[in-house]
Amino acid sequence: MSARREAPGNFDGVARAYRWLEYMTFARALERCRFAFIPALADRRKALIFGDGDGRFTSRLTAAAPGLSADCVDASARMLELLRERAPRARTHLADARDFSPPGAGYDLVATHFFLDCLTTEEVAALAERLNPSLSAQAVWVVSEFSIASGFWAMPSAALVRALYLAFRILTGLRTTRLPDHGAALRAAGWRLSDERRLLGGMLRAEFWRRAA
Ligand SMILES: C[S@@+](CC[C@H](N)C(=O)[O-])C[C@H]1O[C@@H](n2cnc3c(N)ncnc32)[C@H](O)[C@@H]1O
């Protein structure tokens, strides 16, 4: 018997306001995180982008990588509408990422910005395993995530993460309550962390993962 699975959060109601809510709370810090590795992605040809929301990353990426085709997966129809306005070249898929199988093979980029935190560690692990057959050996995975910092920032960052989950529960019905250990899940699926940037005292991380040898 399989365990009952929660529905994904419903981001339709916050889609239009999302960008402004973000700027009011974090100014441009989340954007700096999302865009941190774009210069290293200009040679990518085929991307799988999960939960990009209103499409700001996809738009920036497709401008930087003119030869790239992108498949964008999101459970919110309104977010996908905004994404298509910003990034008309992208192919969109209204789907739960936990069920999604890529329409083809040879993807050389996976991007997940502030999305894996909507999943549990087990769900991230299952997603990473399911994607493996569709990826090229040169594939890279870029991740942006919140993180519980160490030292002085440990308590503030833990409080911030709790407050964010509470806000998303109220606004979207998201049931997840803690950050997944996405690093362990990616390593188990054959990835290694190749580069990392930390922002806001370590509360935000931009990561660049490669296939392990
Ligand atoms: C917190 S927002 C992040 C948006 C954007 N990536 C960013 O950097 O701010 C999470 C996005 O993932 C989508 N999402 C959440 N759970 C999902 C799931 N299980 N399958 C597909 N999309 C999901 C939401 O609809 C939303 O667009």
- CATH top-level class for 12-211? alpha beta
Average pLDDT of span 154-167 = 93
Among residues 70, 115, 108, the alpha carbon closest in space to that of 92 is found at 70
Q: Are 106 and 99 in contact (CB under 8 A)?
A: no
Please tell me the residue having the least CA distance from ligand 1 atom 6.
52
Is 152's pLDDT higher than 80?
yes
- Residue bearing tokens 């995530």: 145
115 C-alpha vs ligand 1 centroid, how far in Å?
5
- Residue bearing tokens 């188990």: 188
Q: What is the pLDDT of residues 24-48, one digit of tens each?
A: 999 999 999 999 999 999 999 999 9
Tokens of 6: 């929660």
15 C-alpha vs ligand 1 centroid, how far in Å?
10
Q: What is the pLDDT of residue 11?
A: 94
Is 213's pLDDT higher than 50?
yes
Q: Is the CB of 90 under 6 A from ligand 1?
A: no
pLDDT class of 3 with cuts at 50, 70, 90: low
142 C-alpha vs ligand 1 centroid, how far in Å?
15
Angle between helices 56-64 and 77-86 (to 10 degrees): 30
Q: What is the pLDDT of residue 121?
A: 97
Q: What is the pLDDT of residue 153?
A: 85
Q: Is the CB of 37 under 6 A from ligand 1?
A: no
Between 211 and 2, whose confidence is greater?
Answer: 211
DSSP state for residue 189 in the 8-state scheme: T
Tokens of 197: 């940037």
Output the pTM of the full model: 0.96
- Residue bearing tokens 């898929």: 93
Q: What is the pLDDT of residue 6?
A: 87
Type of residue numbered 113: H
Is 73's pLDDT higher than 90?
yes
Q: Are strands 135-146 and 204-211 parallel, antiparallel or unpaired?
A: antiparallel
Is 72's pLDDT higher than 70?
yes
**What is the overall mean pLDDT for the chain?**
95
| Strand intervals (E) in 114-188 | 135-146
Average pLDDT of span 181-196 = 98
Please tell me the residue having the least CA distance from ligand 1 atom 9.
114
Q: What is the pLDDT of residues 84-143, one digit of tens each?
A: 999 999 999 999 999 999 999 999 999 999 999 999 999 999 999 999 999 999 999 999
Q: What is the pLDDT of residue 85?
A: 98
Q: Is the CB of 123 under 6 A from ligand 1?
A: no
Extract long-range pairs of 5-10: CB within 8 Å, 24+ residues apart. Answer: 5/98, 6/175, 6/176, 7/173, 7/175, 8/75, 8/96, 8/97, 8/98, 8/118, 8/174, 9/75, 9/118, 9/168, 9/172, 9/173, 9/174, 9/175, 9/176, 10/75, 10/76, 10/172, 10/173
